[in-house]
């Protein structure tokens, strides 16, 4: 009806175990004469104040070192941002200079589909002798006349001059680019060297600050460890002196058995004052042990008699079972013999009946005339 085998809650069990451990620790602290202090422990309070001050000083030194590292990292980040902005500005300036020098309108080599004056230049008045709209009847040119010679010469000169100027400009631009690249490489190397020097300086300052903070922390830890060891040694010495005094002034070292008797419960003893049992108590215990040994021996003999009785009963039952098995085997053999004789008699009767049928009843064999008459009568 009710489930009594439910497993307890692990959290509740852990909480109960923690409370039990705290109570045991509190009792051991209260009942321990070495560490028990009546009133306020001024030395312990002073040691706690010193530990708190030492911990605060250590935290302040760690925070100062962290602030120094943060300032150095911020400075490095600002330098990197400035360098990236300067690199972007130089790249944009180079792109603009390339557009102004290499991508001018007069140097284009492709047809402009969006030229607003292209309609005025599609059909000029007269292009030359080979102009299809102007034939011989237009009187625009005559046989043997070269109207475009001066223009062609001028165009060739202009083209030659333009190509020469362009080559000179390209050579000058190549030289300027090489000089600019060399100057940029020198500036880049100088900037990289300056940055490496700054980073090395920052790294050295960070390392010095870190070593200083680590040395301060190690010194604080060493001082804290030394102070804790000194307090432990002092506490141990005080405890030893108190224990010696308690041993000298108390009844612990006396042989009086009344010291171990509990004043509240006379049937109990004080464990920390008990010196052992009295001769009467030891004699009573030995007497009780002898009575228990005799009872155990009598019980052992009764168990042996019962085991012997059970073994005899088991052997009798085993013999009866063997006799029953023997009778069962004899009955089975008798049944198998009767069944074999019955089967032989039945086989003889079947053989005689088959011989009678074959020798007397089934002697006449039907002929073809019999089958013909049988078919005619059936029709």
For residue 135, name the pLDDT band (cuts at 50, 70, 90): low
Q: Is the pLDDT of residue 239 over 80?
A: yes
User: What is the pLDDT, as a whole number, of residue 2?
Assistant: 44
In a domain, 185, yes or no: yes
Top pLDDT among 143 and 195 is at 195
User: What is the pLDDT, as a whole number, of residue 282?
Assistant: 86
Rounded to the nearest 10°, the torsion over CA 44, 45, 50, 53 is 140
The average pLDDT across 188-198 equals 81
Number of domains in the chain: 1
In a domain, 211, yes or no: yes
User: What is the pLDDT, as a whole number, of residue 138?
Assistant: 62
User: What is the pLDDT, as a whole number, of residue 193?
Assistant: 81
The average pLDDT across 42-71 equals 82
C-alpha distances in angstroms, 271 versus 207, 275, 358? 62, 9, 116
Give tens-digit pLDDT for 304-333.
999 999 998 888 888 988 989 999 989 998
The average pLDDT across 176-205 equals 81
Q: Is 128 left (phi over 0), alpha (psi -120 to 50) or beta?
A: left
DSSP 183-230: HHHHHHHHHHHHHHHHHHHHHHHHHHHHHHHHHHHHHHHHHHHHHHHH
User: What is the pLDDT, as a whole number, of residue 332?
Assistant: 92
In a domain, 365, yes or no: no
Q: How many CA atoms lie less than 13 Å away from 200 in the CB half-sphere?
A: 6
User: What is the pLDDT, as a whole number, of residue 69?
Assistant: 77
User: What is the pLDDT, as a whole number, of residue 219?
Assistant: 85
Top pLDDT among 257 and 244 is at 244
In a domain, 253, yes or no: no
User: What is the pLDDT, as a whole number, of residue 295?
Assistant: 93
The percent of residues in the chain predicted with pLDDT above 90, rounded, is 8
- Cα–Cα distance measured from residue 35 to residue 29, given in angstroms and rounded to the nearest whole number: 7
User: What is the pLDDT, as a whole number, of residue 157?
Assistant: 83
In a domain, 191, yes or no: yes
Mean pLDDT, the chain, whole residue set? 79
Lowest mean pLDDT among 110-124, 152-166, 212-226, 233-247: 110-124
CA neighbor of 211 nearest in space, from 222, 223, 219, 201 = 219
- Cα–Cα distance measured from residue 35 to residue 32, given in angstroms and rounded to the nearest whole number: 6
In a domain, 240, yes or no: yes
Q: Is the pLDDT of residue 142 over 50?
A: yes
Give tens-digit pLDDT for 282-305.
899 999 999 999 999 999 999 999
User: What is the pLDDT, as a whole number, of residue 141?
Assistant: 60
In a domain, 199, yes or no: yes
In contact, 62 and 213? CB cutoff 8 Å: yes
Q: Is the pLDDT of residue 1 over 80?
A: no
In contact, 239 and 34? CB cutoff 8 Å: yes
Specify which residues 261 forms β-bridges with: 269
3 state SS of 261: strand
DSSP 49-91: HHHHHHHHHHHHHHHHHHHHHHHHHHHHHHHHHHHHHHHHHHH
**Domain hosting residue 222, numbered range:** 176-246
DSSP 313-373: HHHHHHHHHHHHHHHHHHHHHHHHHHHHHHHHHHHHHHHHHHHHIIIIIT-PPP-HHHHHH
Lowest mean pLDDT among 14-28, 30-44, 244-258, 272-286: 30-44
Q: Is the pLDDT of residue 11 over 90?
A: no
**What angle in degrees, to the nearest 10, is found between the helix axes of 42-102 and 149-249?**
170
In a domain, 180, yes or no: yes
């Amino acid at each position: 009806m009710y489930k009594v085998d439910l497993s307890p809650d692990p959290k509740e069990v852990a909480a109960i175990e923690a409370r039990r451990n705290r109570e045991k620790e509190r009792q051991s602290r209260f009942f321990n004469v070495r560490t028990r202090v009546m009133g306020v422990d001024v030395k312990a309070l002073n040691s706690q104040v010193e530990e708190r001050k030492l911990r605060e000083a250590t935290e302040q030194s760690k925070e100062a070192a962290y602030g120094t590292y943060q300032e150095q990292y911020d400075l490095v980040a600002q330098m990197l941002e400035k360098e990236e902005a300067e690199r972007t500005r130089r790249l944009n300036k180079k792109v603009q200079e390339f557009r102004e020098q290499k991508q001018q309108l007069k140097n284009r080599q492709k047809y402009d589909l969006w030229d607003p004056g292209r309609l005025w230049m599609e059909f000029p008045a007269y292009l030359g002798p080979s102009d299809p709209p102007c034939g011989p009847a237009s009187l625009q040119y005559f046989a043997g006349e070269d109207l475009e010679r001066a223009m062609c010469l001028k165009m060739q000169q202009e083209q030659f001059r333009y190509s020469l100027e362009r080559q000179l400009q390209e050579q000058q631009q190549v030289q300027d680019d090489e000089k600019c690249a060399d100057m940029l490489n020198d500036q880049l190397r100088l900037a990289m060297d300056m940055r490496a020097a700054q980073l090395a300086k920052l790294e050295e300052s960070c390392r010095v600050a870190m070593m200083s903070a680590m040395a301060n922390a190690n010194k604080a830890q060493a001082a804290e460890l030394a102070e804790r060891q000194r307090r432990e040694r002092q506490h141990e010495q005080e405890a030893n002196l108190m224990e010696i005094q308690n041993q000298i002034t108390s009844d612990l070292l006396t042989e009086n058995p009344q010291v171990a008797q509990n004043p509240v419960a006379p049937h109990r003893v004080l464990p920390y004052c008990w010196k052992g049992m009295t001769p009467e108590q030891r004699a009573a215990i030995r007497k009780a042990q002898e009575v228990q040994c005799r009872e155990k021996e009598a019980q052992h003999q009764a168990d042996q008699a019962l085991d012997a009785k059970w073994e005899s009963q088991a052997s009798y039952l085993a013999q009866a079972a063997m006799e029953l098995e023997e009778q069962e085997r004899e009955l089975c053999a008798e049944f198998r013999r009767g069944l074999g004789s019955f089967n032989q008699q039945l086989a003889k009767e079947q053989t005689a009946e088959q011989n009678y049928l074959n020798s007397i009843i089934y002697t006449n064999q039907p002929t073809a005339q019999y089958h013909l008459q049988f078919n005619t009568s059936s029709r």
